[in-house]
Amino acid sequence: MNMKKWIAAAITCSALTLGACGGQSKDNAGAAPAAAGPDKVYRVAMNAEFAPFESLDSSGKVEGFDIDLMDAMSKAGNFKVEYKHQPWDSLFPALKNGDVDIVISGVTITEDRKQSMEFTDPYFEITQVVLVPKGKTITTSEDLKNLNRVGVVTGQTGDFSVSKLLGNDNPKIARFETVPLVVKELENGGLDAVVSDSAVIANYVKNNPAKGMDFITLPDFTVENYGIATRKGDEATVQMLNDALKKVRESGEYKQIKAKYFAEGAKK
């Protein structure tokens, strides 16, 4: 190849390289991600302060029902996952922005949330319950109106339920970042009651008998379902997860994982 042809070829290659780089930047700036290859690792986020669904062990590693379920699903569906613990209020923005691919964190499926994210088939059934010191009587949600302070976790379904009942800006509602924080405030006498998810509260009462707490199931609170969330429009990931969840259920492994964390009578 003579010098002129070599220079022309080099310029052409350079232009092609620059064009490819420019296209990559554009994709990263907001285009939908490419279809997953065999080596894709799905980034799974949760707030690991929601035992027994997700919590941190002594070494800082995430553990719990949701983790064991997702591990089983990834094996059944032949896909890879990595976990990330982060604050509850950052989970959905991280999903929307593409910082994570999946959120599994005891997320209740609601019509409002369906507007901004996709959900898998339900994988666990719960309801809201009221945690109170033993001896305190609450028979209906109307009784909550007579309490001085009712604790909830910001943005969780308990917050929505109490806000609907008392009014979103009612000063009687005390909002906290995590379940451990709101429960600790109740233990210290700073709250009259806490409203949160039944399985989580039942787990706390079971493992802390010396705290003198009990929980009450009210007929006013309806049954809810947890789902695994993905970005709006990411139907391929939803289908992958649904297929894997079905396999885990059919194999009997779901029941084994559930029995590890919940009493026989727990909702599923």
Residue whose tokens read 């509602």: 173
SS3 6: helix
Contact assessment for residue 121 and residue 151, using Cβ atoms and an 8 Å cutoff: no
Counting residues of the chain whose pLDDT is more than 70, the rounded percentage is: 84
pLDDT for the residue numbered 39? 77
Query: Residue 173: enclosing H or E segment and its boundaries?
Result: strand 173-176
Query: 181 Cβ partners below 8 Å, 6+ apart?
Result: none
pLDDT for the residue numbered 22? 34
pLDDT for the residue numbered 222? 85
pTM: 0.74
Write the class of the CATH domain 41-125+225-261. Answer: alpha beta
Confidence of residue 263 (pLDDT cuts 50, 70, 90): low
User: How far is Cα 105 from Cα 47, in angstroms, rounded to an integer?
Assistant: 6
pLDDT digits (tens, 9 = 90+) for 81-129: 999 999 999 999 999 999 999 999 999 999 999 999 999 999 999 999 9
Which is more confident, 242 or 37? Answer: 242
Number of neighbouring beta carbons within 10 Å of residue 17: 10
pLDDT for the residue numbered 179? 94
Strand partners of residue 45: 84, 103
Least confidently predicted of 85-89, 141-145, 219-223 = 219-223
Q: Is the pLDDT of residue 264 over 60?
A: no
Q: Is the pLDDT of residue 25 over 90?
A: no
Cα Rg of the chain, angstroms: 23
Write the single-letter amino acid at 86.
Answer: Q
Supply 98's token pair.
């593409």
pLDDT for the residue numbered 265? 40
Residue 28 has phi, psi (to 5 degrees) of -65, -25
SS3 17: helix
Which is more confident, 141 or 56? Answer: 56
pLDDT digits (tens, 9 = 90+) for 155-206: 999 999 999 999 999 999 999 999 999 999 999 999 999 999 999 999 999 8
- The CATH code belonging to domain 126-223 is 3.40.190.10
pLDDT for the residue numbered 27? 35
Domain borders along the chain are: 41-125+225-261, 126-223
